[in-house]
A and B are shown apart, each in its own frame.
Chain A
Amino acid sequence: MREEKYFKMLENRWSNIWPHPSLPKEPVYPLGKIPDTGILGEVC
C-alpha cells in the first residue's frame, strides 16, 4: 500500500473513533500563535 493511501485509511478510522466532536483536530497553543511561525498549522 502506498503511504498516502495508508494514512488516508488511518485518518478515516481516526475520524470514526474521535472521542468528542468539540475536541480540536489541531493542537491549540493557548497563547495564540506560536512565536515566529505565524500559525501552529505551519509546524503541524
Chain B
Amino acid sequence: MERYAEKQPSKDYIIYYGKRISYKEMDELSTKFANYLIENGFEKDDRLALVLPNVPEFYIGYFGTLKAGGICVLLNPMLREMELEYFFQESKPKFVLTLDLIYPAVEKAAKKVSDGINIIATSFKDFLPESPEIPIHPSMNAFTQKMEENLYLTDILENASSKKPNMRAAIDDNATMNFTGGTTGLPKGVYHRHQNIVYTGACTYTYNNAHLLVERYPEQEVDFEKFAAELAQTEVGLAAMPIFWVAGNDMGVVGPTVSGYTVVLFTRWDAKAAMEAIHKYKVTTTYAPFDLYWEILIHPEVGNYDLTSLRTCTGSSFIKGLTKELRKKWRELTGTILREAAYGLTETHTFDTFTAGFHRNDMDIERAEKYGGTFCGIPCPGTLIKIIDENGNLAPLGEHGEAAIKSPSVVSGYVGRPEETAKAFKDDWLLTGDIGMYDEDGFFYYISRKKYMLKVSGVSVYPTQIEFFMLRHPAIEMVGVIGASDPEKGQVPIAFVKLKDEYEGEVTEDDLLEWCRKNMAPYNVPKRIIIKKELPLTATGKVIREELIKEYERMSTS
C-alpha cells in the first residue's frame, strides 16, 4: 500500500459506487487509523475484528491494523449475536470495527466476552457518494443516528495524525486471523503471516492472467515482467464476493494491492449493477460462482452493455459447474474465456494452483467431465501437493486420495486447538481433508471432501461427484447430496434438489430418479431424491450439508 501510494499516488485504488479513493488517500486513511489504534493502547499482535461487509472502511481497518503491527480478524457481517460471541471468545479482539446497523448485536456479544473490547462504528453513508453512479441496494440507504457515547470511524479519521507510525511489522508476523470449518463443526481460527499473503499475492500476479499469454502470443517469447506490468496498469477488478472470505479477499484485497490495480467494490451482488460497472469502469477481471455469470447471460438487459473490456473471468463450481455451453456463451458475449479459479482452502489463503492457459479446445472442461472432479490446473511454483492413501502412502497418478499440501502460505495450526492441529498438520504437511487426484499428465482435480465420502456396498462414493452429474439435468438448479445409513448397503446417497422455476410442478422426484438410473452408475444413484423450494446455503453460496443431514434425520424419525 505504501509503495504504490508513492509510485502511483493519484491512481484509483477503490471505486465504490462512484466514490473514488486513490492509493495515496487509502494509505493516509489507514495510517491515521493505525495511529489512533496505537495511541489508544493497541500493541503488536493485538487483534482488531472487522465485522464489515464490502465497504471501503474494510480496507482502512485492514491496512490500519497491519500498520499498527496487529492482527486483523476477518468475520462475516451476517453473524448473529450468539455467533459473534463465539468468534470474539476465540479471537479475543481489543477493537472491533463494524457497521452502525449491527452495532447493537456486536456490542452485546463483545460485552459477554470482555468489558475491554472497544467498538468503532461506521455507516454505509460515510463513503457512499451522494449520487451513486451504480444503483445501490435499498438496504444500503439505512443508517442509525449517531450516539454521543459511541466511537465513530469518521471522527477518528478527522482527528488522527497522518504521520507514519513508529511500528513496522515483520514478514513473519501474524497479519490476519481467518476462520475455517464453518460447515463442518465449530469454526477454527488460523493465523496468516504477512509472508503467506504476499506469496499468494505474487502467485495471483504471476499466474492469474497467464491465459492471455497463451491467447495473444501462442508461439512467441515475451518479456513477462513487461507484459505483467502493462496488464496491471490497466487492470480493474470487480470485487463483488465477500472480502472477509479468503477467496474474495484474494481477489478483492490481496491481488489488487500486490499488483497495484483498481478495485470496483460492490457491497451486494446484483447482475444489472455488475453489467453497469463493467461497462462504465471498463472492468477487466472478475471472480464469482458460475451461477452469477449465468445471471448476467440470461438478464433481459444484457444487450445494453459493452462487456468486452473483460479479459480474465474466473469462477468456482459451488452450485453450478463450468460447462462448455457456459464458456461458449460467455465468450460470445465478452470475447474472453471463463475458467475455474484455483484450488485452495482457508488454511493456505487459497490460490494454491493455477488453471490459466489450459483452456484450449476446452481441454480443462473435458478432463473435468472425464474424471468427475473440478479441474484445478497445476500447483503454483513453490507449492507442493501430494495425494496419499488411507495409510499415508503416495497414491499413483489417476487414483483418488487425500490431498496434502506444503507451501509458503500454509498456516502453522489451529489457534488454541492443539489436538486438531496435531491431526491435520504432520511433518510440515497440511492434510486438507479433501479428496483429490492427479491425472496422467499431472493435472490436479478436486474430487470431494473426505468426510463426505460414502461407502455404498463397499464402493467409494463422493457426494460432490453425484451433485456434479445431477446438475446436468436440465430441470435442476441446485443439489446437495448427503449420506444416510442403510441396512443393506451400509450407506446410501440422498439428494436434496431445488428445481429451476420453470420446472416446478413439471418434474417429479420419480422423474429425477429415473434420469439418474439412466445416466449414473448404480452406486451413485441416490436412494431418495427430495425436491425443496430452497436449500440451506452458506454466505458464499455453498450448500450446507450439515443442515440437510439434520433435516433428513428429522424426516426419518417423524
Contact = CB atoms under 8 A, between A and B. Distances in A.
> Which 9 A-B pairs rank lowest in CB-CB distance, beginning with the nearest?
A19-B357, A13-B442, A44-B382, A27-B202, A36-B171, A29-B202, A20-B213, A43-B408, A27-B206
A13 B408 CA distance: 22
Given A27-B381, A30-B232, A37-B195, A22 B206 contact: no
Interface residues of A, number: 29
A35 B408 CA distance: 15
Contact of B228 (A16, A30, A31): A30
B228 A27 contact: no
Interface residues of B, number: 47
Given A17-B378, A28-B206, A35-B171, A23 B442 contact: no
Nearest to B170: A36
A7 B386 CA distance: 8
Interface of A: 1, 3, 6-7, 10, 13-14, 16-17, 19-31, 34-37, 40, 43-44
Nearest to B200: A27
Interface in B416-457: 438, 441-443
Nearest to A10: B442
Contacts of A36: 170-172
B382 A23 contact: no
B382 A26 contact: yes
B153 interface: no
B497 to A, nearest CB: 37
A28 B228 contact: yes
Contacts, number: 105
Nearest to B7: A31
A35 B175 CA distance: 15
Contacts of A23: 206-207, 210, 213, 224, 357
B441 A24 contact: no
Interface in B222-238: 222-225, 227-229, 232
B207 A3 contact: no
Contact of B443 (A17, A24, A43, A44): A17
Interface in B199-225: 199, 201-203, 205-207, 210-211, 213-214, 217, 221-225
Contacts of A43: 195, 199, 382, 408
A34 to B, nearest CB: 5
A24 B206 contact: yes
Given A19-B210, A23-B224, A36-B171, A1 B394 contact: yes
A22 B195 contact: no
A6 to B, nearest CB: 5
Most buried by A among B172, B378, B441: B378
Contacts of A14: 378-379, 442
Interface in B258-290: 258-260
B356 interface: yes
B302 interface: no
A6 B394 contact: yes
A16 B358 CA distance: 12
A7 B404 CA distance: 13
